[in-house]
Amino acid sequence: MYFSVFLPFLLFTSLYALPFNFIKKETSPLKTPTLLVIGGIHGNEPGGYFSAAILAHYYTVDEGNLWIVPDLNRPSIQQNSRGINGDMNRKFADIDPNDPDIETVQSIQSIITEKQVDLILNLHDGHGFYRKEHLNTIFNPNSWGQTCVIDQDVLNTEHPYGNLKKIAVKVNEELNRTLIENHHFFDVRNTNTRFNDEAMKHSLTFFAVSHNKPAFAIETSKQLPTLHEKVFYQLNAIECYMKLMGIKYTRSFDLTLDSIQELLTNDENLTINNNFYLNLKNLKNSLSFIPLQSDRNEFKFAHPLGSVQKNNGQFDLYIGNKKISSLIPSYHVKEFCSDPITVLADGEMKKIHFASDFFVNADFEVVNNDKNTRVNIIGFTQSGVEDESNLRIGLKDLDSKYSIDTTNKSYRIEFYQQNRFCGMILVHFK
């Protein structure tokens, strides 16, 4: 079970049934250049897909157009596998009609060949450090890491960005001014695909080049010690291409290793069926009795790499290749209750909508005068009390084994009518 999202700026609404997320950030599509950035064709190369996710989530385009596919091969990303159905990057020249990847391959081919797309970047993590001379098993001509890969020097027909070698050299020069360590330097690797590399004839970039679309692979080294170093180089490279194309942008962070490392820990939140909410930070490994529908559940992740996989009756939540938690469902027929909810938080009256959260220092009380609506505060019990509204609740009153997070400070408040689930809100103790 996979869920796709397509929207102009951030992920939240499903418009097209694609097997991957497709994000457009546009200013004037008919007048300015469009860059297509693709991450995750190989599921065990997180530098590529986490870079694309940060690009989608934290960058604003001020002039030009930026299209982003952060999770092209989502099932393989979940399994941290190069390709659970074989190497997807060897299926672009031809693909078996029964191949499980055919929908993904044909969908991205359609996007690549759209008239509006001017240049394509395919993000990878490659083995070793590319060197023109053989030094050892890590530094040699057969390595892919720290390269801008091109399939040929120039396109076969005229194009504003058709001189692939010239562009790659220029980008490398810029990248080599940002090195963390001197041996991280970037070089251009020309596979000369048409004549010298039979396998690469089946790749995404050669498919693009064959359709007169400038395409480059950015390869950071798998031997870089941290994910945030790979992302640092990927984002620097992407910014080089955007500047070269005249795409103007702003980002909500400084492009430093510390900033990137912090962003990579932000797993954001998840809304299910517009009435259930989870903050994914510090989520426990497993949560039970999650009120879901028997079918057609809608999972909306704020993170561009958020995904869900149904597995033996439970729902496994992922951010990229990181499994966040497993939800063990309790199935309910959906009911409708009054929204918003009135909450007395630290003595202050607040209106809280379903599928949202609030914070308290000392205590809270759910104010409810509707006799048909029952409030269930997960983790609170009091003898003889079935409806837990209009009670003052502090952290000491809650059983920590029912918290949703490892700090034992976040708890579910659920609402029912006739034992049918209406919605929930989340309370966090500071």
Summarised one tens digit per residue, pLDDT across range 152-176 is 999 999 999 999 999 999 999 999 9
Judge if 392 and 292 occupy the same domain: no
User: Which pLDDT score is estimated for 90?
Assistant: 98
User: Please, is 358 exposed, middle or buried when counting C-beta atoms within 10 Å of its C-beta (0-12, 13-18, 19+)?
Assistant: middle
Taking the C-alpha atoms of residue 10 and residue 424, their distance in angstroms, rounded to an integer, is 24
Instruction: Quote the pLDDT of residue 407.
Output: 97
Are 19 and 77 part of one and the same domain? yes
CB 224 within 8 A of CB 184: yes
Q: Are residues 99 and 226 in the same domain?
A: yes
Specify if 193 maps to a domain.
yes
Q: How far apart are CA 57 and CA 43, in angstroms?
A: 20
154 in the same domain as 36? yes
| 261-319 confidence digits (pLDDT tens) | 999 999 999 999 999 999 999 999 999 999 999 989 999 999 999 999 999 999 999 99
In this structure, are 144 and 276 located in the same domain? no
The angle at the Cα of 216, spanning 215 to 217, to the nearest 5 degrees, equals 135
- 287 lies in some domain: yes
* pLDDT of res. 336: 85
Q: Which residue type sits at 69?
A: V
Domain final position from 331, 362, 381: 331
Residue 38 CB partners (closer than 8 Å, separation 6+): 52, 68, 69, 72, 108, 120, 121, 122, 123, 204
Among 247, 263, 279, give the residue marking a domain's end. 263
Q: What is the pLDDT of residue 8?
A: 32
pTM score, whole prediction: 0.93
Q: Which residue has the tokens 């081919």?
A: 109
301 is in which domain, residue-wise?
269-331
Q: Within a domain: residue 16?
A: yes
Residue 216 counted as domain residue: yes
Is the domain of 309 the same as that of 203? no
User: HSE of 323 in the Cβ direction (CA atoms, 13 Å)?
Assistant: 15
367 lies in the same domain as 274: no
Type of residue at 143: S
Q: Is the domain of 259 the same as that of 118?
A: yes
How many Cα atoms are found within 13 Å in the side-chain-facing hemisphere of 54? 31
In a domain, 242, yes or no: yes
**Residue 2 confidence (pLDDT):** 30
Do 288 and 381 lie in one domain? The reply is no
Same domain, 95 and 125: yes
Tell me if 336 is assigned to some domain.
Answer: no
Number of domains making up the chain: 3
**Cα 92 → chain centroid:** 24
Residue 54 sits in a domain whose CATH number is 3.40.630.10
Q: Tell me if 359 is assigned to some domain.
A: yes
Beta bridge partners of 301: 270
Q: Output the pLDDT for position 11.
A: 36
Residue 1 placed within a domain: no
Residue 273: per-residue pLDDT: 95
- Of 277, 312, 331, which closes a domain? 331
Shared-domain flag, residues 54 and 96: yes
**Judgement on whether residues 17 and 78 belong to the same structural domain of the protein:** yes
| Residues of the chain where predicted confidence (pLDDT) is lower than 50 | 1-16
